[in-house]
A and B are shown apart, each in its own frame.
Chain A
Amino acid sequence: GKRQYNRDFLLGFQFMPACV
């Protein structure tokens, strides 16, 4: 299926520490 992400899910990652 298509990888759909809703706005709240996406916004939740804005200030996450970067992956290492």
Chain B
Amino acid sequence: QEIVNPESYIKHPLQNSWSLWFFKNDKSKTWQANLRLISKFDTVEDFWALYNHIQLSSNLMSGCDYSLFKDGIEPMWEDERNKRGGRWLMTLNKQQRRLDLDRFWLETLLCLVGEAFDDHSDQVCGAVVNIRTKGDKIAVWTADYENRDAVTHIGRVYKERLGIPMKMTIGYQSHADTATKSGSTTKNKFVV
């Protein structure tokens, strides 16, 4: 009888099940109508099957977003799991679409599905990449802006994983502040 190594036929389960969403800016429709669930996955193999099948972020049209969220969390501030939360925000300049965008987004995805934030990974809700003419953005969303330990741990690990130089900083903003801001910038609750 032949013994088959389970490694060769059992997919590698992820800690969480994830949903990938796509947003396409069509001004004739409501914001929610422009948001589509692409697919869900809960194994390493299925993550790659999806990632390898879809367009790179840098090929998307301006106004489009990808969002990866834990299953059951919708990629919007209003979701019960997001509304007391906030985001670590990376704003990219125009040159970075060519140089950094795709590798930053892939690194972000690997941080999420691999649970890179240790015991604080439970605080992660998801991540979003926004493709915009004036400059693309990538953000990691967490559940509770008042959870200083979790927010700062996630920020430090994330900054290191992206290879952001020590002398540069990234900021964390609450969704409540982003939703009610008057100007174009939101004040940072934390900086790493």
Contact = CB atoms under 8 A, between A and B. Distances in A.
Dominant secondary structure at the B interface: helix
B155 to A, nearest CB: 18
Dominant secondary structure at the A interface: loop
Contacts of A15: 48, 52
Interface of B: 9-15, 44-45, 47-49, 51-52, 107, 110, 113-116, 118-119, 121, 161
Contacts of A13: 12, 44-45, 48
For A10, A13, A14, the residue with the greatest tally of chain B CB atoms inside 10 Å of its CB is A10
Nearest to A3: B15
A16 B44 CA distance: 11
Nearest to B15: A3
Nearest to B43: A19
Contact of A10 (B10, B52, B114, B118): B114
Contacts of B12: 5, 13
A16 B116 CA distance: 22
